[in-house]
Amino acid sequence: MNICTYSYEEYIHLVKSFHGTLAPGLLIGGFMVDLAMKHLPEGDFFDAVCETPVCLPDAVQILTPCTIGNGWLSVVSFGKFAITLYEKYGEIIERLEAADMSNCTLPLCVEPEAYRQDLLWFARRFHEMAGPAPDRERIRREYWDKSLHIYDVIPMSADERAEMSATRFAQILAVERLHEDVRVTILGHVQRGGSPTVFDRYLATRLGSAAVQALRDGKRGVLAGWRDSGVAYVPLREVVSGRKDLNVSLWRLALMLSK
């Protein structure tokens, strides 16, 4: 398995050397850049726009000639883990302006001419972003306004759209267009149902501290748990050997509530 011109192992080594740590965003970003490069004509010079300052810009700098230093890579905080590689000297704009979409058929009932106009709008904004002294704040606001207009979601002011997080944007799209329920998923501990409560944070602090203290005291093979309003260490042998019968009524209630 290769990522651009590097083997997977070579790319991992480059990530560690360039970024300092093996971050998941660099691995995902590597595959994103690899996919984008496969769709670029050979020999073309291109610029890059990265829509997050986290991890992804380093994948672009490792795998392409585009860097922040040479000005070919622009990093804008649009709150989206996305990159755009586009032809450097504006030919894509000329091609889109001259494109005939009359015989095209696009999925999801997308009108071809409207699609061409949207692509042309984004190409102009990206080209402007790579130019000298771009007005990043204005482009950011126009970007969100245009994105929400394309998806025809609930109306809101430009200021509200500019301050909207990527998570909230995805929630609006799912609810308004797909009519699907959306819940927040926090990566790391994969918690569903909302933000942690005060007790959740207190419990995590107490258990984490107890686990570290157990290691310092030389305790092995125990689980730091919460029992009778306090931390208790339970041997792992006891944990795995215990049996707790299923409460059938609670199981049936869970099935009813999940429908």
How much is the pLDDT for 49? 84
Place of tokens 């927040």: 184
Rounded distance, CA 97 to CA 120, Å?
7
What's phi and psi for 121, nearest 5 deg?
Answer: -60, -50
Smallest Cα–Cα separation from 122: which of 154, 155, 145, 89? 145
Instruction: Write down the pTM of the prediction.
Output: 0.46
How much is the pLDDT for 254? 83
How much is the pLDDT for 191? 47
How much is the pLDDT for 44? 65
Q: Is 88:44 a contact under the CB 8 Å cutoff?
A: yes
pLDDT (tens, 9 = 90+) of the chain, 259 residues, equals 789 889 988 999 999 899 888 888 888 999 999 988 888 777 667 888 888 888 899 999 999 988 888 878 888 777 778 888 877 666 667 777 788 877 777 654 567 787 788 778 877 877 777 667 778 778 777 776 776 555 444 455 556 655 555 556 666 655 655 566 666 555 555 545 556 778 888 888 999 999 999 989 988 889 999 888 889 999 988 888 877 788 888 888 888 887 6
Domains of the chain and any CATH numbers: 2-153 (3.30.1330.130), 196-258 (no CATH)
